[in-house]
Amino acid sequence: MHIVVCTKQTPDSAAKLTVDAAGNVSWGDSPIVINPWDEYAVEEALLIKERLGGNARVTVISMGPEAALEALKHAIAMGADEGIRIWDPIFEGSDTLATSYVLAKAIEKMGDVDLVLFGKSAIDSQTGQIPVEVAYRLGFSPLTYVIKIAELDPAGKTIIAERLLEQGRQVVKAPLPAVVGTIKGINEPRYPSFMGIRKATRAQYPVWSATDIGADPAKVGAAGSGVRWTRIFSPPTREGKAEIIQAETVEETVRILVDKLMAEKVI
Amino acid sequence: MSNDIFVWIEQFNGQVAGPSWEAIGAARTLSQTLGGQVCACIFGQGVEALAKDAIAYGADKVFLADDPTLADFRLEPYTALMAELARQHQPALILMGATARGRDLGPAVAVDLETGCVADCTALEFQDGQLVATRPIYAGKLLCTCTVPERRPAVFTLRSRAFPKPEPDPSRTGEIIQVAPILKEEDIPSKVTGFQETVGGVNLADAAIIVSGGRGVGGPEGFEPIRELARTLKAAVGASRAAVDAGWIPYEHQVGQTGKTVSPDLYIACGISGAIQHQAGMRTSKVIVAINKDPEAPIFQLARYGIVGDLFKYVPALAEELKKRLGA
Ligand SMILES: Cc1cc2nc3c(=O)[nH]c(=O)nc-3n(C[C@H](O)[C@H](O)[C@H](O)COP(=O)(O)OP(=O)(O)OC[C@H]3O[C@@H](n4cnc5c(N)ncnc54)[C@H](O)[C@@H]3O)c2cc1C
Ligand SMILES: Cc1cc2nc3c(=O)[nH]c(=O)nc-3n(C[C@H](O)[C@H](O)[C@H](O)COP(=O)(O)OP(=O)(O)OC[C@H]3O[C@@H](n4cnc5c(N)ncnc54)[C@H](O)[C@@H]3O)c2cc1C
């Protein structure tokens, strides 16, 4: 069984972000890390491999510049087998339409992929659109918001997944190959081991270009994109400090609070 | 290309998801500039009755597909039909709620039509003839604006409760057009084999009021006063990750960067410190109330009203007071 995990790098979730007038975002000396949601995808791939008695291969891929290596390295350190970076200067400015095209072309090139795992969204631009788009392009079963893989039968080529929707859990049976978008709660991601970190440092990370994956230059980068992002800015700040309500008694305090909430027309 | 706007009306068991009506409202506003019609797309089984509702909420036209293959939302048949309708009628825009299903359908339709999909918009506005969408990024720490400059139709998914829900007007009239599905059951590989509805299931994203508990509630039984207050207010129950990780309440209730993003009219945080990752999920709430015994807790920076004290005293007292005042 060949499992692919798609991942990208992001600033650390605790980073203090600033944005200048030109819309350039910076995160001070906070590190660039693997997109935190993707750790669930890597962990799930490793759990499946373990369940199959090692009878599976886990390849992690990322479309991105040099910095994308951080995400690949973390996945290898956790236990993935191989990391491939997909990059070409003509990929610059890709929206999800173009990014999903590149990822789908890379997966197609591999030819033998049974399962493609994703995190729910990337914590920076957070569209959450890539998994379903890759599935739709490849014609793989589109299983997003998966909180549990209840059954995986590589021989029968089927998967049963539980998906968390607003109203509850939907159980879906679908054929392989499939795309699985993981969410928190599906597992508890492991920490990289010392041996894993050494392996990740020494590993080779091949780079596949547009030509390598047979991508049509008209379908990648800004030219191949539908969406343009035009401005990045800080949200208006909140008033500052709460109005603290404090009266003689508990009853009086909550009475004042209820008065205020009624005046605000929120209850 | 026409100047029409398509809106996908999402339904589950005949219940329409809140953001669908909000999207109809947004479409009505945009059509004042664009000049075209607002067309609701309703897919499902036994959903004819919803067509009249869509017209009352603001649709001029309804494309209604009623068929067993469309009973459950599945990506393959829904995308095929939506994309085909768009090819036939060439709308300028397609809008839908940024719900779990909408965030699957919108981008898949965009791929099918080779166009752009802007995710999770909180505002839409025409500037120099171009529709400009605002959307949160970096867990709401920043905002950005996006456009789909050339390709049509342009697809936008709208965050729940970011756009006002219109008042239905039963006297409005419109045209209902029956359409047939594109795929047959044997062409749809995914089969829905079960559904387990969330118990006590107020959906957090749709809730007008949320009462949330954190580590300060001290244990699973500590959620009882939180639930009681929520019942009084007909509110949904939220939680911090600390409470979820401790196993006091299921993950479905978690609010924050790795949980749900919510934007209710009123968010009452009880025993929650207000870590940046929690704020990421609730900072756009209209009014935030914090009940916390630590006056230095960061939640008080974000809240409009605060009570410094023991939640086990104030939460039950608040529920009592509300019962009196709301006659519940
Ligand atoms: C400010 C800003 C706003 C944007 N808004 C939009 C928009 O509204 N619509 C749009 O179509 N595009 C948009 N983009 C472009 C989009 O961010 C890129 O296409 C990006 O590669 C996808 O990131 P995401 O955060 O949307 O991924 P998500 O869809 O949120 O990520 C889901 C999963 O896909 C994986 N993944 C994402 N990108 C890659 C990659 N390059 N390689 C491997 N795996 C990946 C993630 O690691 C994660 O597991 C925006 C970009 C910026 C900078
Ligand atoms: C990558 C990442 C993602 C994360 N995602 C999320 C997320 O999605 N959602 C989330 O919530 N967190 C998330 N976190 C965790 C977050 O950083 C905090 O640890 C968490 O929000 C703390 O929860 P808390 O406020 O309930 O607990 P604490 O920070 O421990 O606060 C408990 C509060 O309760 C108060 N208190 C105690 N007893 C009482 C009482 N009797 N009456 C009144 N007040 C009392 C205390 O004064 C304190 O302020 C994430 C962290 C990381 C690193």
* pLDDT over threshold 90, residue A84: yes
* pLDDT over threshold 60, residue A190: yes
Per-residue pLDDT of chain B (328 residues; tens, 9 = 90+): 899 999 999 999 999 998 999 999 999 999 999 999 999 999 999 999 999 999 999 999 999 999 999 999 999 999 999 999 999 999 999 999 999 999 999 999 999 999 999 999 999 999 999 999 999 999 888 999 999 999 999 999 999 999 999 999 999 999 999 999 999 999 999 999 999 887 655 678 889 999 999 999 999 999 999 999 999 999 999 999 999 999 999 988 999 988 899 999 999 999 999 999 999 999 989 999 999 999 999 999 999 999 999 999 999 999 999 999 987 5
Whether ligand 1 lies within 6 angstroms of the CB of A229 is answered as yes
Report the separation in Å between the CA atom of B241 and the middle of ligand 2, taken as the mean of its atom positions. Answer: 6
Ligand 1 atom nearest to CA at A8:
47
The answer to the question of residue B67 being in a domain is yes
pLDDT (0 to 100) of residue B205 = 85
Partnered with residue B296 across adjacent β-strands are none
Q: How near does any CA of chain B get to the CA of A214, in Å? A: 18
The answer to the question of residue B193 being in a domain is no
Contact B75, A132 (CB under 8 A): yes
Which of A3, A8, A94 has most ligand 1 atoms within 8 Å of its beta carbon, as the pocket-test mutant?
Answer: A8
Is A168's CB within 8 Å of B198's CB? yes
Domain boundaries, chain A: 2-224
- CATH class of the domain defined by A2-224: alpha beta
The answer to the question of residue B192 being in a domain is no
**Which of B159, B187, B215 is the endpoint of a domain?**
B187
Residues B176 and B51 in one domain: yes
The answer to the question of residue B99 being in a domain is yes
Q: What is the pTM of this model?
A: 0.90
CA distance B321 to B228: 12
Residues B153 and B32 in one domain: yes
Is B287's CB within 8 Å of A261's CB? yes
Reference B82, options B59, B68, B55, B63; nearest CA is B63
Give me B223's structure tokens. 């959620």
Q: Are strands B154-158 and B93-97 parallel, antiparallel or unpaired?
A: parallel
> Residue for token digits 């990421």?
B280
pLDDT (0 to 100) of residue B326 = 87
Residue A95: CB atoms within 10 A of its CB come to: 24
Residues B175 and B271 in one domain: no
Q: Read off the CATH number of the domain in which B53 is found.
A: 3.40.50.620
- List Cβ neighbours of A54 (8 Å cut-off, separation of 6 or more): none
Domain tally, chain B: 2
Ligand 2 atom nearest to CA at B294:
47
